[in-house]
Amino acid sequence: MKKALCFVLILILIFSAAGCVKNDGRSRLYLIYMNGSDLETNYAAASKDLAEIMSANISAETRIIVQTGGTEKWHNENINPEFNQRFELKDNSMEKIWEGKAENMGKASTLSDFIVWGAENYRADEYYLILWNHGGGAISGFGKDETFESDTLLISELNNALSAANEKCGIIFNMIAFDACLMASIECLAAVKDYCEYVVASQELVPVTGFEYKSFFNTQARFDAQGGRVAKNLAEIYFNEEMKKSSVNYLTVSVISTQALDNLMEAFRSSTEEIKAYLNKDDYTIAQGLSATMSFGGKSEAEGYSNMVDLLSFAENFAPDSYEQLYEYVNEAVIYKRNGLQQKNACGISVYYPKYATENLVSEAMLYASSGFCPEYADVVKEYTENLTQENIAVLDKTLKSKNTMLFKGSGADYELIATSLFNDYYVVTNVDEPNIFYRVEISKINNKVKVLCKCFGVKTSVGLTEQKYIPE
């Protein structure tokens, strides 16, 4: 009996060691670029995350430096919204280590200056960057500085910031993580891949609470950086802890190895001719293909249309001959992913496509071309949007959009169908006496029972698009 018990204990130790390789004392620097925006002004979300980090048991080899800015009102008395400030978080405290005039957090030089300053003043064996704020996908990019006309870091500006920092201090991050919506896109990956080993991001909307910082910083020192173990730990904790809080199954999170991206980028470029040929088909066929393509983020007039779609779902419907090759390379790149039931088949990487025809499409196509991602595909997007006629749009709208009125919270409200499943339909409901707030609702096909899944809020960016976060009900 004793021998059997010892054998079991040995096996447990072996498997524990295999899944959790200790850091072995290597020094780590975490740089957190905290663009507070309306998330802080209205919801104190940044202050809550700072409190989470400070309450963690941070290892002696780990240093955490935060830059603040981008918000009109902070709910942390240590932070002054009239300045950009930098703090070191440790021992349940935040020590101010730098202060400068308020610079636009949506400007490439503001991010690159922070990276260079951090790398030069806090040398370490490993470097990690966390970008905290809204995310708008391939068009509006990352962040929204509400003190500088809602300016964001476009994908091209994100690339410029990382390139400039690398040129000055040679920094390559072990991980870049986006605590923001919609940033697990092939366009974003192309922008950051030369400056990090792993990326943590979501294809879908992210809840206002974002990453689970206390649990992550309590455990990160147990993992070495090899094989993306730190990145996987961050992703797994985020998914597991968020799912405990809510039954909303919009969550997605991916860990992507940048070393595997070159093949994927080339395979995608090669698929553009097939995509272009598909778009020469009749309107109804195109609309049916778009209807079958999984999408993320805003899917209604109230929310705005993110037009971010799942890369493999898109390929399956628009480039079937290229699908097998893309499938192989996506699965090489995505080394870890977790999806809620609503997006259970998401592949881990998304791509921009103007699924929903709106008046902004021409300007979106211009912004998309400026991102620098795959000129061949940008040309396909540009040609498609320029050739859309009112007749084309009418067919798309009939297939993809449905708007009506329902009784909600005791009064009439507009609702738009955004998804359907075997047993339920899913809607976005608006006009419920709360400006800029909309609800995602599940209605049973069996008994018409209405269940509120979450409420979302959106903010307009400097490029006219809406970025969202959601709050589980």
Q: Quick one: 347 and 240 in the same domain?
A: yes
Instruction: Name the average pLDDT for the chain.
Output: 91
Which of 64-68, 282-286, 354-358 is predicted most confidently?
A: 64-68
Q: Which of 382, 399, 416 is the last residue of a domain?
A: 399
Q: State pLDDT tens for residues 140-165.
A: 999 999 999 999 999 999 999 999 99
- Segment (H or E) for 142: strand 142-145
Which pLDDT score is estimated for 302? 81
Q: Quick one: 456 and 431 in the same domain?
A: yes
Q: Of residues 205 and 91, which shows the higher confidence score?
A: 205
Q: State pLDDT tens for residues 85-98.
A: 999 998 889 999 99
Q: How confident is the model at residue 22 (pLDDT cuts 50, 70, 90)?
A: low
Number of helices and strands in the chain (H, E):
16, 22
Domain tally, the chain: 2
Q: Quick one: 318 and 337 in the same domain?
A: yes
Average pLDDT over residues 299-312: 91
Q: Quick one: 366 and 436 in the same domain?
A: no
Q: How confident is the model at residue 16 (pLDDT cuts 50, 70, 90)?
A: very low
The answer as to whether 16 is a domain residue is: no
Q: At residue 54, does pLDDT exceed 90? A: yes
Here the contacts of 119-122 (C-beta below 8 Å, separation 24 or greater) are: 119/29, 119/165, 119/169, 119/171, 120/169, 122/29, 122/63, 122/65
In the chain, the N- to C-terminal Cα span, in Å, equals: 50
Asked if 246 contacts 328 with a C-beta cutoff of 8 angstroms, the reply is no
Closest to 131 in 3D by CA, of 147, 96, 155, 150: 155
Which pLDDT score is estimated for 389? 87
Q: Which of 343, 372, 399 is the last residue of a domain?
A: 399
Q: Quick one: 369 and 422 in the same domain?
A: no
* Spatial distance between the Cα atoms of 284 and 399, rounded to a whole number of angstroms: 8
Which pLDDT score is estimated for 20? 56
The answer as to whether 21 is a domain residue is: no
pLDDT exceeding 90 applies to what percent of the chain? Answer: 69
411: which strand partners? 408
Which pLDDT score is estimated for 66? 98
The answer as to whether 48 is a domain residue is: yes
Which pLDDT score is estimated for 415? 84
Q: Quick one: 210 and 130 in the same domain?
A: yes
Asked if 360 contacts 385 with a C-beta cutoff of 8 angstroms, the reply is no
The answer as to whether 4 is a domain residue is: no
Q: How confident is the model at residue 300 (pLDDT cuts 50, 70, 90)?
A: confident
The number of beta carbons lying within 10 Å of the beta carbon of residue 168 is 15
| pTM score | 0.93
Q: Which of 399, 418, 453 is the last residue of a domain?
A: 399
Q: Quick one: 159 and 194 in the same domain?
A: yes
* Spatial distance between the Cα atoms of 21 and 59, rounded to a whole number of angstroms: 15
Domain coverage including residue 284: 26-399
Q: At residue 403, does pLDDT exceed 80? A: no
* Residues contacting 185, CB < 8 A, separation 6+: 137, 138, 201, 203, 308, 349, 350, 351, 352
Q: Quick one: 355 and 408 in the same domain?
A: no
Q: At residue 15, does pLDDT exceed 70? A: no
**What would the two tokens of residue 177 be?**
């993580």
Q: Of residues 324 and 340, which shows the higher confidence score?
A: 324
Which pLDDT score is estimated for 248? 65
Is 125 exposed, middle or buried (CB count within 10 Å of its CB: 0-12, 13-18, 19+)? middle
93: which strand partners? 90
Q: Quick one: 211 and 257 in the same domain?
A: yes
Which pLDDT score is estimated for 459? 85
Exposed e or buried b for every residue in 42-81, given b needs 16+ CB within 10 A? bbbbbbbbbbbbbebebbebbbbbbbbbbbeebbbeebeb
Q: Quick one: 332 and 233 in the same domain?
A: yes
Q: Quick one: 257 and 389 in the same domain?
A: yes
Q: At residue 285, does pLDDT exceed 70? A: yes
* Spatial distance between the Cα atoms of 31 and 118, rounded to a whole number of angstroms: 7
Q: State pLDDT tens for residues 217-238.
A: 999 999 999 999 999 999 999 9
The answer as to whether 433 is a domain residue is: yes
Which pLDDT score is estimated for 341? 84
Q: Quick one: 377 and 404 in the same domain?
A: no
